[in-house]
Amino acid sequence: MPRIETLAVHAGRDDFAELGVHAPPIDLSTTYPVSDLDVGTESFDALVGGAASARNPIYARLHNPTVGRVEQALAALEGTEACVAYGSGMAALTAVLMDARSRGGHVLVVRPLYGTSDHLLASGLCGLEAEFVDAGEIAARRRADTALVIIETPANPTLDLVDIRAVVAAAGDVPVLVDSTFATPVLQQPARLGASYVLHSATKFLGGHGDVIAGVVCCSEERARPLRTVRAATGALLHPLGAYLLHRGLPTLALRVERVQANAIVLANRLSEHAAVARVHFPGLGTVRNAHLVGAQMAGPGSLMAMELRGGYAAAAAVMAKVRLMTPAVSLGSVDTLVQHPAGLTHRVVDPEARLASGIGPGMLRLSVGIEQVEDLWADLAQALDGVALSAAA
């Protein structure tokens, strides 16, 4: 089996020789001619029923070849039989939740996780009762109607790690969904540890260039079929241009992860010594829950970190205003460095008490490190932090 660096370059390209192309082709058709009605009817039934493909794609909401190729590529990277792509990470999560309703009405969720995921679950919009628990409580809180266990590791934004094998064991026969967006398949492959679903906001590292919104769920073919049915019924298919951009970016995924991780290690160590910073949450520093999983569950610490500033909200706002090279913006996993305020932005929709209980305070900033030269990044960050420290001392 080729290593992941090689798979990232070649996966999802099996039909390129037959097509006579070298770059991923884009099929922008909304509909496909049906010259043989018997084939068309057979194909329609297959696709609505959740088949990965059919002899005739019929209609782009049911299937698109460009989307199909990037799904094959990502399934290969995660070591699963199938992958189902959606128009966003939230659409992907929603599809899993809608399918979960056929198994029961109760979901166990470990905080923290992405703010909008938290909000969707807590709101009950998908008709499920979400119970928020610690990872160690899963076995005790599991019920006869528990349909799904949801974790995110590394967690957003605290970077706490969750032991996937332990969660799978505690869940028993209940499927486990792991949001592995922060790790990417380069650093972590949850399906190989027993997870039933691996979710990515492909907008982030998988896309990697800040120009596509997408979400994917990697899983077995049996679990993929109902997810495709939900996608077809709700119109949540990833646009083929987005699929093309994802596929185009995958060959550099491992290189990008390696570079941003190396930069993050340098920045995390320096931030931990800065007078304006009270704490840095980074797996590579051992300052997050279950940091011992780095090197075991995760191949490396990744490139996301959170820092708590001594000056609280005012200091956080000042740093975001003072950076010049880094971009003060939500999202992550792009080639450029982004800094944002979880309590005021990505996690603002989370219940305030739950937010604070998860360690997301007013002085926390989340940093997504890019591929820039690390000394340039540090110079920008240091001048912003120095300004905050001087203001506090004045």
Answer yes or no: 134 catalytic. no
pLDDT interval class at 1 (50, 70, 90): confident
Say if residue 393's pLDDT is above 70.
Answer: no
User: 385, 333 in Cβ contact below 8 A?
Assistant: no
pLDDT number for residue 389 = 73
Share of the chain above pLDDT 70, in %: 99
pLDDT in tens, 286-325: 999 999 999 999 999 999 999 999 999 999 999 999 999 9
pLDDT in tens, 93-122: 999 999 999 999 999 999 999 999 999 999
Answer yes or no: 114 catalytic. yes
pLDDT number for residue 392 = 65
pLDDT number for residue 104 = 98
| Domains defined for the chain, CATH in brackets | 4-252 (3.40.640.10), 253-393 (3.90.1150.10)
User: 301, 362 in Cβ contact below 8 A?
Assistant: no
Burial class of residue 40, CB neighbours in 10 A (0-12, 13-18, 19+):
middle
Burial class of residue 344, CB neighbours in 10 A (0-12, 13-18, 19+):
middle
Q: Average the pLDDT over 368-378 and give the result.
A: 98
Answer yes or no: 310 catalytic. no
Say if residue 394's pLDDT is above 60.
Answer: no
pLDDT number for residue 387 = 87
Q: Average the pLDDT over 266-284 and give the result.
A: 98
* Average pLDDT in the chain: 97
pLDDT in tens, 10-34: 999 999 999 999 999 999 999 999 9
Answer yes or no: 322 catalytic. no
Nearest CA to 182 out of 303, 283, 33, 274 is that of: 303
Say if residue 390's pLDDT is above 90.
Answer: no
Q: Average the pLDDT over 370-388 and give the result.
A: 97
- The residue annotated as part of the active site, out of 204, 228, 256, 355, is 204
Q: Average the pLDDT over 315-339 and give the result.
A: 98
- The residue annotated as part of the active site, out of 114, 142, 197, 228, is 114
